[in-house]
Structure 1
Amino acid sequence: MDRYWLKIKESIWFIPTLYSLFSVILAITFSTIDHIYHQTILMYVPHVLLTTVDLAQTILGGLSAALLTMTTFTFSTIMVVLTTYSSQFSPRTLKNFVRDPMVWRVLGVFMGGFIYTTLSLLFMQESIAGESVISSLVGVLYAMVCLIFFAIFIHHIARNIQVNTLIEKLTIEGIEAVGCYEELLKRKDMTTETTDNWQVRGIANPIAAENDGYLQLIDIDQLIALAQKHKGKIEMNCCIGDFVQTSTPVVTLYTNNQITFEEVDKLFVVGSERDTRQDPVFAIQKMVEVSLRAISPGINDPNTAIHNIYQLGRLLGSYSQLPKKDFIFMDEDKQSRVKMSLHSFDELLYQTFHQLRHYGKSDISIMGAITDSLIMAAVQAPLESKKDIWTIQLYLIEGMENIDFQSLDRLFYQKKIDKLADLVGEESVNGI
């Protein structure tokens, strides 16, 4: 993975810059045709589609002002949506909208249209007065393309501002992050079993981060190559998504020699924000925050929280299928080189539900949705993970003991507890 190219592609200015460069090339191309090949134009383009220089200047001037206005309106709409994401959903969900290529593609089209019309006006000279030009035709066609993109943009914004669409995207994002680890499991040089029980020997050489931040990505192949080069083994001291400092050893190389490291940034990426590409835990955290906002007194939208909690069950079910053992990566000689650990499933369950339990324990619909999500996870979970699911359910019940629920509320919740107990193979308990 070329991380530098990835950072460039994900930056806000990348797509608008591409469209702007395309517009510059387009303006230069058709201005050259108008100046040098205007006689050839008359042979292949119907005369009705061509204009004089004066008319072309009028058209391009009007289009330039109109496209600048549409660009300003589009940018203002983007700012409003970003504010809505931050206040209504979660500040952590802003990146989901910022990374949306459609948003910046539309902005790039409008910026490119303004650049094209402005440059075409600049290049249009009185020396070709009285001659027919094609630049205005291209400008009109570009403006029609902008109108189409504007309609698509409005539809896209209206759809993505809906919380259910955001929840679905967050769920898919988390499942794709889990899929990264599932792809690792398919590697031929990877195993969760090791014959030497991962015995490390030699001098410990810690490799620390170059800056404070969150561990976003790791490069397994680079780590294997480094361990093989020094005939040692590497242990990861942190999990993806952990906060590290410049003095925090992210990985440790055990070898017989004391060595120094160069180009540490090739081994892992540490950034100021968490990233979901290899961090399903962060995707879950964002979904939890959306639910917490929904059940807050200021918003009071429990149905949104319930729908989101159901999606959490899907994501937790996928995560539960990952092995609890460490991932061991080998070189081509089948020598164990790198050991990587994941966040444990029981820890993830607690991190997912402890805040939801605290703020939603007096609402039986929220607690019922949490148990339903545990049921969804238990359907997919292997036997060893089902015990963790039952443990978190008992924890939820403990937090509800001092809440005064009515008889039908108890019956409603008890049915869900019984169903979960049957799925995980445990004896049911009295709920509340």
Structure 2
Amino acid sequence: MEAPVSADKLRFLIYRFKERLWVKPLTFCLLSIAAVFFAKIIDGTPLAEHLPIIEQSSVETLLSIMASSMLVIATFSTGTMVNAYTSASNSSTPRSVSLIIADDVSQNALSTFVGAFIFSVVAITSLKNAFYGDAGVFMLFVLTCTVFAIVILTFIRWVDSIARLGRVGSTIQKVEDAAMKAIDHRLNNPRLGGFVQPNLTALKEQGAEPVYCEQTGYVQLVDMTKAQNWCEHHNACLHILVLPGDFVSPNNPVALIERTATNPTSNKASFESTEAAACEANDIIKVGHERSFEGDPRFGLIVLGEIAARALSPSVNDPGTAISIIGSYVRLFLCWAKKDEIRDKPTDEIVQFTRVSAPELNTKDMFNDAFSPIARDGANIIEVAIRMQKALQVIAKCENKDIQKYAQEQASIAYKKSMNTFQFEEDKGRLDETKWSD
């Protein structure tokens, strides 16, 4: 049984399409061709008699200029974008390239240039073959001027964007924005919208059937709507054991199937076989070769940590970037601290899927993902060490007990690593002044 396309799955697919460079250019090309043929429609309307007459040669001249220049600009923009991707990979981390590719400004610019080129070529061909009447030529002239204006405005906006594309600061901002979106989505959908998991050990003892993954890779999507429909169809409950970003293999179960009491008057489908049911349930969890920023808050934290670790390497020696990323972590964890407010909402607003449970996102793992690389690679840099202590103290001032606990743990770990690394007593004294105090 196929479940309807859920909001999460639709969001997942849209994100995947944004990473495909051919989607927007193809769309703009189709719109350009449609615009050329749209100009012909005006010839058969009463409005055609009232439109001014435009010399066909003047329109051909404009279209020829556009055709000759747009292909060059499109080629130039493609080369610039590729250089930006290479720069982002070398200066920050290869895991950030997908965000650079999905940059809307660059994709819109490339699509506009390619679309304008296709528009001009098709329009010139139509004019040469006397496809238009006088009104159609005028409408084509108006469309050509409109396309020129769009190209100029797009180019100006793109020049401003391309100056930053692929730079470390811009990449950090994109990764932070992606992590913030994932955190916001998880805050609004704790446990992916499922209910709190019961005692899994007891469920196994009671005969709950494990579901094993057929692939090896990272979980990219858990389709909770499909899981809910599957459970209703089979009169069962499904307990998801993994979250987006977890690494899975055929050796480890990804879910448990809990059979519910059978109602003789119910028309719910029963299990034909455990294997068939497990196969259907397995299709609910989408696995890929790489982690995705969408729906995986920890991945954004990890990528920021990778950028900081590279900046702190002896070959780069850029502690300012690490300090900037610590500031990003403060904003992200203060946002995550709002989860207590979400828990205070009515249960029916939090639990969207009454037959599916899922685990909570582990706050301790999030702190380890974020601060461990900086505590390790920045332990010998006093500026980074002090900033770590101050940042974690800011985070710990929130009312969330878990975040207070783990912020204190990370501050203690970072303090010990730095104190064991510093050779000068002055540095130890400065760090001592800012260390964690109850």
- TM score, norm. by length of structure 2: 0.81
Distance 2:399 2:391 in 1: 12
Amino acid at match of 2:401: L
Give CA-to-partner distance per residue, 1:311-362, whole Å, 9 cap, x none: 1122233335547x9xxx999x999633322342223322322322222111
> Which of 150, 156, 179 is the aligned partner of 2:184?
179
1:204 aligned partner: 208
1:16 aligned partner: 25
2:80 is the counterpart of 1:77: yes
C-alpha change, 1:406 and 1:249, in structure 2 (3 Å) is: same
- State the 1:119 CA deviation: 0.5
Aligned residues: 408
C-alpha change, 1:31 and 1:211, in structure 2 (3 Å) is: farther
Distance 1:110 1:168 in 2: 27
C-alpha change, 1:16 and 1:208, in structure 2 (3 Å) is: farther
> Which of 373, 388, 395 is the aligned partner of 2:391?
373
- State the 1:221 CA deviation: 3.0
Indicate conservation of the 8 Å contact 1:206/1:249, yes or no: yes
2:159 is the counterpart of 1:141: no
Give CA-to-partner distance per residue, 1:390-427, whole Å, 9 cap, x none: 2222222332343234333223211221xx323xxxxx
Distance 2:318 2:375 in 1: 16
1:429 aligned partner: none
Amino acid at match of 2:79: S
Distance 1:301 1:322 in 2: 34
Amino acid at match of 1:288: G
- State the 1:304 CA deviation: 1.6
Give CA-to-partner distance per residue, 1:345-380, whole Å, 9 cap, x none: 223322322322222111111111222221122122
2:230 aligned partner: 226
Please state whether the residue corresponding to 1:234 is helix, strand or coil.
Answer: strand
Distance 1:9 1:403 in 2: 45
C-alpha change, 1:44 and 1:249, in structure 2 (3 Å) is: same
Please state whether the residue corresponding to 2:239 is helix, strand or coil.
Answer: strand
2:102 is the counterpart of 1:93: no
Distance 1:386 1:82 in 2: 38
Distance 1:385 1:130 in 2: 71
1:428 aligned partner: none
2:33 is the counterpart of 1:30: no
- State the 1:26 CA deviation: 0.7
Indicate conservation of the 8 Å contact 1:31/1:124, yes or no: no
Indicate conservation of the 8 Å contact 1:60/1:136, yes or no: no
C-alpha change, 1:350 and 1:197, in structure 2 (3 Å) is: closer
Q: How does 1:105-120 map to 2 (within 5 A)?
A: 105-120=108-123
- TM score, norm. by length of structure 1: 0.82
C-alpha change, 1:136 and 1:364, in structure 2 (3 Å) is: same
- State the 1:274 CA deviation: 1.0
Higher relative contact order (CA 8 A, sep 6+): 2
Amino acid at match of 1:316: F
2:376 aligned partner: 358
Deviates more, 1:344-353 or 1:304-313: 344-353
Give CA-to-partner distance per residue, 1:94-144, whole Å, 9 cap, x none: 111112222211111111111111011111235579968333453243123
Q: Mind listing any 5+ residue stretches in structure 1 that lack a counterpart?
A: 423-432
1:151 aligned partner: 156
2:264 aligned partner: none
Distance 2:41 2:335 in 1: 58
Amino acid at match of 1:113: A
Distance 1:84 1:100 in 2: 15
Amino acid at match of 1:221: T
Indicate conservation of the 8 Å contact 1:311/1:373, yes or no: no
Distance 2:29 2:250 in 1: 39
> Which of 237, 244, 249 is the aligned partner of 1:245?
249
Amino acid at match of 2:437: A
2:69 aligned partner: 66
Indicate conservation of the 8 Å contact 1:281/1:348, yes or no: yes
Amino acid at match of 1:285: I
> Which of 290, 294, 310 is the aligned partner of 2:311?
294
C-alpha change, 1:317 and 1:39, in structure 2 (3 Å) is: closer
Indicate conservation of the 8 Å contact 1:214/1:271, yes or no: yes
C-alpha change, 1:88 and 1:128, in structure 2 (3 Å) is: closer
Please state whether the residue corresponding to 1:402 is helix, strand or coil.
Answer: helix
Deviates more, 1:261-270 or 1:372-381: 261-270
C-alpha change, 1:311 and 1:359, in structure 2 (3 Å) is: same
What is the identity percentage for the equivalent residue pairs of Structure 1 and Structure 2?
20
2:265 aligned partner: none
Indicate conservation of the 8 Å contact 1:200/1:233, yes or no: no
Amino acid at match of 1:21: L
Please state whether the residue corresponding to 1:379 is helix, strand or coil.
Answer: coil
- State the 1:193 CA deviation: 8.6
C-alpha change, 1:220 and 1:164, in structure 2 (3 Å) is: same
- State the 1:66 CA deviation: 0.6
C-alpha change, 1:129 and 1:390, in structure 2 (3 Å) is: closer
2:355 is the counterpart of 1:342: no
Indicate conservation of the 8 Å contact 2:224/2:353, yes or no: no
2:3 aligned partner: none
Amino acid at match of 2:293: T
C-alpha change, 1:381 and 1:215, in structure 2 (3 Å) is: farther
Distance 1:159 1:208 in 2: 45
Distance 2:317 2:246 in 1: 32
Please state whether the residue corresponding to 2:203 is helix, strand or coil.
Answer: coil
Distance 2:146 2:373 in 1: 54
Deviates more, 1:139-148 or 1:177-186: 177-186
Give CA-to-partner distance per residue, 1:262-312, whole Å, 9 cap, x none: 555762322222112221110101111111122222222211210111211
